[in-house]
Amino acid sequence: MCGNTMSSPVVIPAASKHSATVIFLHGLGDTGHGWAAAFASIKSPHIKYVCPTADAIPVSLNAGFRMPSWFDIESLSFDSKQDEAGIKASTEKLQQMVADEESAGIASNRIIIGGFSQGGAVALHSALTLAKPLAGVIGLSTWLPLHDQFPGAIKGNTNTPILQCHGTADPMVQFQFGEMTYQNLKAMNCRVEFKQYKGMSHSSCDEEMKDVQEFIDKHLPAV
């Protein structure tokens, strides 16, 4: 559901006066269309939702086949080699999207960034290496990439609310990775809430999307 560069995003425009934005990145091999549909079902009229699609790149995990991906992944083990250059390039792209919203008149503290799985990894990394305050961060079934570079790499948003959600039966990004990420974030004094969904695999569910909606409504109220 809703590369080192981004294709044209799927955008759900605000139905009334645009005063806030949600930018959400998909997971490996997906596009922004599915997540755009998910947000269309929980949208608020004053919020614009932006769901970009990553460019197709060769992915080592999938024998070098090209697919939409924010960065290369070699394996699903926690200590595998990470594509630092790709992670940082996608981080810069997401941070530029935040800057583009600011140029359009939306303050950074009226913007929530987030993502699912690989997209959530980019969102977490982007938030912590961004000096401007965000309204919130959403990480679904995800992890903190380049975790060994923190807390040294932090530039801001340790006091920004983070909603982290994970299924207990996730076979791809294992639940223990989610727990480790939560502990890492807490150690950096981040305002993180970790929600667990019993029996959920590497996917989303209605309960999780309800929690996402409540988080967005709380931190991006109409003004």
Of 3.30.360.10, 3.40.50.1820, 3.40.190.10, 3.40.50.300, which CATH number belongs to 10-219? Answer: 3.40.50.1820
Token pair, residue 75, equals: 């394996």
Per-residue confidence at 189, pLDDT binned at 50, 70, 90? confident
More confident residue, 183 or 75: 183
> Is 0.85 topped by the overall pTM?
yes
- Residue 41 annotated among the catalytic residues of the structure: no
Is residue 202 among the annotated active site residues?
Answer: yes
Provide the residue type at 35 as one letter. W
Model pLDDT, residue 80: 83
**Domain layout of the chain by residue ranges:** 10-219
Q: Which of 117, 126, 141, 204 is catalytic?
A: 117
Rounded CA-CA distance 91/155 in Å is: 13
Q: Of 170, 204, 211, 219, which one is the catalytic site residue?
A: 170
Encoding tokens for residue 52?
A: 């970009």
Task: Give the separation between CA 185 and CA 40, rounded to whole angstroms.
Answer: 30
| Dist. CA 205–CA 145, nearest whole Å | 24
Share of the chain above pLDDT 70, in %: 97
Known active-site residue 170: yes
